[in-house]
Homo-oligomer: A and B are copies of this chain.
């Protein structure tokens, strides 16, 4: 937990009571003394410092300073819906890297059962998105949208997303060009299912102006590919 995320509704006269997971983490892992400073972030708001007022059985913080976060470059991620255990990680990764929009889409090689997982619900997502913000030290929740059918997404949604971006990339692990070392924001990147995109899907992305790229011969799991690609984009924009 590199940043303690606080919901605006939790603040009363600059004071915050931390309960549950965050409170336990502060008491058991960080174990601060009274008066210590901790890094905090207001959900979808500024980051800053809080002073520890109490951290014994309950944790009380007083917010002492807030600074607006410099908005990072706009990055939109399109990912074929992965299996539930991977989805948790991809949600956290997208939030940690400051992705503004995450579009989870269907594709021919996405198993139908993934869409009926109990994890495919907005309420469940937030837990993993928050873990990602805590890890990455960010405060902005990505907008997450689920698209249950590929063709309506490709025909009605994708062109608009693509038109709003300058760099448009689709990962496809074969003999493709390398990921460009210099990119211009906003960036939209698409990551396929295990087994890859099929030709129809690649054609639809190509029609929307996406360039295929490969990071090499290694066949990555989606929870390896997503941080690799997002780190690559961050590094290429930096």
Which residues of chain A have a CB within 8 Å of any CB of chain B?
2, 72, 93, 96-98, 135-138, 178-179, 181, 214-221, 224-225, 227-228, 230-232, 234-235, 238
Give the chain B neighbours of A235 by CB distance below 8 A.
Answer: 178-179, 214-216, 232
- Are A93 and B224 interface neighbours, CB within 8 A? yes
Contact B96 A238 (CB under 8 A): no
Among A97, A136, A214, A228, max chain B CB count under 10 A is at A228
Q: How far is the CB of A28 from chain B (nearest CB, A)?
A: 14
Question: Which of A96, A217, A218, A234 gathers the greatest number of chain B CB atoms within 10 Å?
Answer: A218
How far is the CB of A25 from the nearest CB of chain B, in Å?
14
CB distance from A107 to the nearest CB of B (A): 18
A92 to chain B, nearest CB (A): 9
A224 to B228, CA, bound (A): 7
**Copies in the assembly, this chain:** 2
Q: Contact at B135–A96, with CB atoms within 8 Å?
A: no
What B residues does A96 contact at CB under 8 A?
218-220, 224
Say yes or no: B219 contacts A2, CB within 8 Å.
yes
Which residues of chain B are near A230, meaning CB under 8 Å? 218
Do A221 and B181 touch (CB < 8 A)? no
Q: How far is the CA of A219 from the CA of B228 in the complex (A)?
A: 13
Pairwise interchain contact A137-B220, C-beta atoms closer than 8 A: no
Chain B residues, CB < 8 A from A224: 93, 96, 227, 231
Given contacts A96-B224, A218-B231, A228-B232, 6 further A-B contacts (CB under 8 A): A2-B219, A93-B224, A98-B218, A216-B231, A224-B231, A225-B227
Question: Counting chain B CB atoms within 10 Å of each CB, which of A96, A219, A227 scores highest?
Answer: A227
Write the chain B residue with the least CB distance to A233.
Answer: B216
